[in-house]
Each structure stands twice: as structure tokens, then as C-alpha cells.
Structure 1
């Protein structure tokens, strides 16, 4: 059975200690194999520098501009993403999204597991 959701009708959630707000479309859609969310970033907001235990993540910029820092081994790249850009990051790569301007990002993690983010204590990028 398929499910259809109008994102305009999904109530946003503000999460404690997290700058971007969450539009929990995954709770509405209940997919089996992926974990979709839409994140709303105010200008200058950033998420925590993290990696995933299992999830490969796909990011689609729905609107706005973000700088995405991706670190793997000893290399760190900053990727500028704008409207309709798509990026896939493997679980083992550390990453952080920072809004250059107000932005909305569709993030899809797979497999669909409970939040498996791994955060280094007090680790952020500038």
C-alpha cells in the first residue's frame, strides 16, 4: 500500500538542543526501508557534526543554500548545495550541514533504523 502526504499539512517539531526544526514526514509515511525527514534551517543554523552507525544518507535541497562539511579519514571537503542539488554520504563519513540562507532539506536515511547518529563529544566544525 502506498501513502501520500502533503508536507504543508505535517506539523513541524522543534527538537531540544538542535538548531534545525524537523518536519517528520517519516512518521506520516511509515516507510519500511528508509527514514525520510525534512529539516528547516534558519540562516546560520547548523546541525551537530556527526556520522551514522548504519545509515547511508541522501540529502536533497528543496530550497535555500547550505554548506555541507564531509570528512573521511584525514580529508575534509565543504560542498555548497543549492536548490535541487542532491548528495549521498556513506555512514562512516562525518558530516555537518550549515545554512548559508534559510533552507529546507529532504534527508533520507537507509536502512530505516532508529536514529543511529554518532556524535563526538563537543566536536563541531567552523
Structure 2
């Protein structure tokens, strides 16, 4: 029988760099998630994630610590702490940080397709 739950302390979790070099905790791997691809991203001042779309995944961006900043298409959006944004697959997006404090985001994508991101040059 499967365990009733899995728990991970983020302060003790393994961080790995994303394609942009931005540190993240890949919850999908560390919690053995089956139905979503999920990560916690740590965006330091001056950092940004790769500008991209998704082929299939709808993504949910939950701003944990911030306030955060996200680019959706040509629009730059200030995201208050503890706010959530849903982004359809074809919408170009990137997280960025022009503030002087770290931003922390929980990003959840479904369905759980690996290598679904499509970088935009």
C-alpha cells in the first residue's frame, strides 16, 4: 500500500539549477509526484528564469515570498505575495526579480509532461 502522504522540508531539500541557472527544488522528483510537475523557485535580485512557452502544460504560479514579478507576453506584472496566477501553455512567460529581496515561487504544471518547456530566443 502506498504511503498516505509525503513531506519535504524545503530548508533541507536538494536544490538544483534550472536551465537559466536559477536555483530550484524539484518537488516532482523529491516527492515522487505522479500527476503534476512541481518546483519551488528561488529568484535572487537580478535573476530571471528562461523565457518560454509550454507545449502541453497549464502552469500555476503561487508567489510565496516577494512580492514577485512575472512577464507574460509583452506584459510585466507585479505579483503581490501570496497571489496565484494561472498561465495557459501557449503564453510566453518568465519569472524575474528587479527588487532587492529574494522571491520564492511554487510552480505547478499539469499534465506531468517532461521537457514540455519551449525556450524563446
Same structural fold, with TM-score higher than 0.5 when normalized by the shorter chain: yes
Q: d(CA) in 2 for partners of 1:95 and 1:24?
A: 19
| Preserved CA contact (<8 Å) 2:35 2:112 | yes
SS of 1:26's partner is helix
Q: d(CA) in 2 for partners of 1:20 and 1:82?
A: 21
For the aligned residue pairs, the C-alpha RMSD in angstroms reads 1.5
Q: How far 1:100 sits from its partner (Å)? A: 2.8
Q: d(CA) in 1 for partners of 2:20 and 2:46?
A: 13
In the other structure, the counterpart of 2:49 is 47
Runs (5+) with no aligned partner, structure 1: none
Q: d(CA) in 2 for partners of 1:58 and 1:7?
A: 19
Q: d(CA) in 2 for partners of 1:57 and 1:10?
A: 22
Q: How far 1:67 sits from its partner (Å)? A: 1.9
| Preserved CA contact (<8 Å) 1:67 1:98 | yes
Q: 1:90 aligns with which of 85, 88, 91?
A: 88
Q: 1:77 aligns with which of 71, 75, 78?
A: 75
For normalisation by structure 2, the TM-score amounts to 0.87
Q: How many residues align?
A: 116
For normalisation by structure 1, the TM-score amounts to 0.84
SS of 2:20's partner is coil
In the other structure, the counterpart of 1:9 is 12
SS of 2:17's partner is coil
Runs (5+) with no aligned partner, structure 2: none
